Amino acid sequence: MGQALYRKYRSKSLSEVIGQEHITKTLDQAIKSGRISHAYLFTGPKGVGKTSVARIFAHDINGLEYDDDSGHIDIIEIDAASNRKLEETKALIEKVYVAPVSAKYKVYIIDEVHMLTRESFNALLKTLEEPPEHVVYILATTELQKMPETIVSRTQRFAFKPIKKEAVVKHLASIAKHEGIKIDAKALEMIAEHGQGSFRDSIALLDQAANYAQPISETDISTLLGIPPSQLIDELIDALSKAKLNQVIVLTHDLIEQGYPATSIATRLSKELRQKLIDDQSPLASDLALKLLEDLLDVGAATNPETYLEICLLKALPQISAKPSSVSSQLPDTESVKEIQPTNHEPPAAKKHESQSLPKAADEKNSAKTKTEKKINNEKEPNLDSNMPVTSSKTAAPVEEEKVISKTKATQTMDKDSWNDVLGLLRNSHNTLYGVVRMASLDFDSANNIIRLKFAYQFHKNRVNEPKNLSYIQSAIKKVSGQSYVIECVIDQSLLDKEGPGKEAESNKLEAISSIFGGGELI
């Protein structure tokens, strides 16, 4: 059976250990001077050489030749994860007082020592305080914070550092050359980056890649690691910067369907976005990009990482952002940024004065309109969310108090002009809902107080049909017209036909994606 590369190329002496010179130099000097402590504590991340150095040091202080494949009766290795109980620790302590068989020191290497129970630590503490002269403890852990201070204070502590990327790449290239593995520089860098400073993990991945393909390319490593291609990540960032909601959802869904975990997507997206910020080439506004980077950190801890990832991305869209003022220059010049003006419809009472002169009527109308606008601008909407700030006075309608509306439009009949006022209220308080509702084609049934919203896509119909979203729309209509209307949402196939070929396939994708949200509230 072949030997794994990480074992084959494990260091055999302190001089061969790479990246931990601050530790190997100190230990080497201790051996030469004969100043051997009774207890050492090696801390640091996995795969950086803690166990290897412990074994080498244990052999060196006894003047023994070190061979990874052979053991020595006086050098005892214990895995604390599987020997953590008090009874097992007591059995170990009983043997501590027995003199070594042939070596100068009996060395106990306890790996992952933080896994011991509190009772086991208390039992071990006694021998650390008053150890026999022939015993040396070498404790190793990846989680120093879980170690009792009473134990730490009785040891010489050595902190192992993650190996620098450049050193890992150089070492991997040396191994690849020696083993006859053909691999390009970009692939080596990706392996070293994924290893996160761990020699063991990096060498193990090189070993795996050598069995996958040769010569090994960056794409091969991406496939092995389940890392999304940079091209798709760039497309996702571009869709975010252009506020293409549908494209963001479709791209995210496609990545997940291709087998890339949400955590991998979030990690790769964070890396690319961070680099673009450093290079001052981010297509997203800085505040949006930083908020997205912060949100992406929580994807791995989410109960449903896929859904949480989509929510993070949708929150980063400029028109949905809680800070639209910072990205107003990125918004497209469409109906979504037109100023919403109060409707020109007069209340029925105004018809009584039709016999008055036109100039006088116009003056009265303009005066009433001015007063209404002033009241509207000075009041805030009490029931709709007030957390969404307005981009500018020209890109969002003022929020109107119901008492103001009731005075000026108490019996207003809904039409396309007054519907714009409804959209204005939604844009101020529920921006994403506004983005969906504005896509609807309208059909007013004033006789039965019904407003029919016709959509091309089932995805949009489902979102609006959610009880909470219907309530928001009905509340806005009541404030504009003073009347209650029933909202009906329907699918109109003719709208899809007008958009041209290829849209039906997109509709099917959107319907599939809507299941990810589980019918939840729009963000």
Domain segments of the chain as ranges: 5-159, 165-225, 230-329, 396-523
Reduced to 3 states (helix: H, G, I; strand: E, B; else coil), residue 153 is coil
> Encoding tokens for residue 374?
């002033």
- Sign of the torsion formed by the C-alpha atoms of 115, 116, 117 and 122: negative
Q: What is the pTM of this model?
A: 0.54
Cα(309)–Cα(313) distance, rounded to whole angstroms?
Answer: 6
CATH topology assigned to domain 230-329:
Zinc Finger, Delta Prime; domain 3 (1.20.272)
CATH topology assigned to domain 5-159:
Rossmann fold (3.40.50)
Cα(363)–Cα(358) distance, rounded to whole angstroms?
Answer: 9
List 10's β-bridge partners, or say none.
none
CA distances from 441 to 308, 412, 413, 414, 425 (A): 31, 20, 18, 14, 18
Which CATH class for the 396-523 domain?
A: alpha beta
List 351's β-bridge partners, or say none.
none
Task: Find, among 441, 459, 464, the residue nearest to 503 by Cα.
Answer: 459
- Sign of the torsion formed by the C-alpha atoms of 37, 79, 50 and 162: negative
- Residue 367: is it exposed, middle or buried by C-beta count within 10 angstroms (0-12/13-18/19+)? exposed
Cα(338)–Cα(443) distance, rounded to whole angstroms?
Answer: 22
Cα(116)–Cα(122) distance, rounded to whole angstroms?
Answer: 10
What is the number of other CB atoms lying within 10 angstroms of the CB of residue 35? 8
Of 2.60.40.420, 3.10.450.240, 3.80.10.10, 1.10.8.60, the CATH number of 165-225 is 1.10.8.60
| Radius of gyration of the chain from its Cα atoms, rounded to whole angstroms | 35
Per-residue pLDDT of the chain (523 residues; tens, 9 = 90+): 567 888 888 888 999 998 899 999 999 999 999 999 999 999 999 889 999 999 999 999 999 988 766 678 899 888 887 777 777 777 777 788 888 888 999 999 999 899 888 888 888 888 888 888 899 999 999 999 999 999 999 999 999 999 898 999 999 999 999 999 999 898 999 899 888 888 889 999 999 998 887 888 888 888 888 888 888 888 898 888 888 888 888 989 888 888 888 998 998 899 888 888 888 888 888 888 888 999 999 898 888 889 899 888 988 887 544 443 333 333 344 343 334 344 444 444 444 444 444 444 444 445 444 444 444 444 444 444 434 444 433 344 444 444 434 434 445 677 878 888 888 888 888 878 888 888 888 888 877 788 888 888 787 888 888 888 888 898 888 888 888 888 889 888 777 655 544 444 445 544 544 444 444 444 3
